[in-house]
Amino acid sequence: METPAETPEDILSRRKAGKVTRKHVPRRAHAAIGNVDRDPVELLQVNSAGRVERLVPLRYGRMIESPFTFYRGSAIVQAHDLAGTPNAGLAIQICGDAHLANFGGFASPERSLLFDLNDFDETSVGPWEWDLKRLAASFTVAARHLRHKRGVADDVVYRVVRTYQERMAEYAQMGRVCADGHPGYLVRRHHL
């Protein structure tokens, strides 16, 4: 069954609904860092339950190498912190661990080069804002780890969030994605 094409009125209706949501959760509300009264080691231990036991020490060994490698391995800590923060109420399937090292290039079945998320072992249903916040924070952690000046990290994070905003606005004009095996509406080439 083919997905019916959306009309410009459908897209306009979604845009209006988004603006209403923003009134309930204004941009400034996203400055909240959440509940940081926690024991990160305890959270990591709980999160390690169910993992291959002999690999857990290897995981922890990698995490202690640098602030960035700790950040990479500690999605549970940020999920805990963000759990009570304001969000738009749009629960989607999120990556759960959207940081800069979990993106990469790979080939599509048609042999096109794609750049996208490539790690989904922490995926869950949650607020879309969590992925964007984790991605933005990863650039700050990486820039500080590489000893860039604060202004560099701020500029990079601004560009990441701005690009996300621009792409989402562009994708919103395309309509729904096909789920029936036909090429989707989201096929676009972007210069990185």
Whole-angstrom distance, CA of residue 168 vs CA of residue 191: 16
Tokens of residue 165, six digits:
């905003």
Residue at 189 is within a domain: no
pLDDT digits (tens, 9 = 90+) for 137-173: 999 999 999 999 989 999 999 999 999 999 888 877 7
* Cβ-contact 49, 76 below 8 angstroms: no
> Minimal CA–CA distance to 19: which of 27, 8, 31, 7?
27
> How many domains in the chain?
1
**Per-residue pLDDT at 79 exceeds 60:** yes
Residue at 103 is within a domain: yes
In DSSP notation, 81-113 reads HHTTS---S-EEEE-S---GGGEEEEE-TTS-E
Q: Where are the alpha helices (DSSP H) in the chain?
A: 8-24, 40-48, 56-63, 67-73, 75-82, 128-145, 150-172
**Domain encompassing residue 70:** 8-172
Residue at 3 is within a domain: no
- Reported pTM: 0.82
Give the CB-side neighbour count of residue 123, counting CA atoms within 13 A. Answer: 10
Tokens of residue 75, six digits:
């999605």
> Which string of b and e fits 146-162 if b means at least 16 CB within 10 Å?
eeeeeeebeebbeebee
* Cβ-contact 131, 95 below 8 angstroms: yes
* Cβ-contact 98, 119 below 8 angstroms: no
**Per-residue pLDDT at 49 exceeds 60:** yes
**Per-residue pLDDT at 182 exceeds 50:** no
Residue at 1 is within a domain: no
Ranges 27-41, 64-78, 101-115, 174-188: which has the least confidence: 174-188
Residue at 186 is within a domain: no
Residue at 58 is within a domain: yes
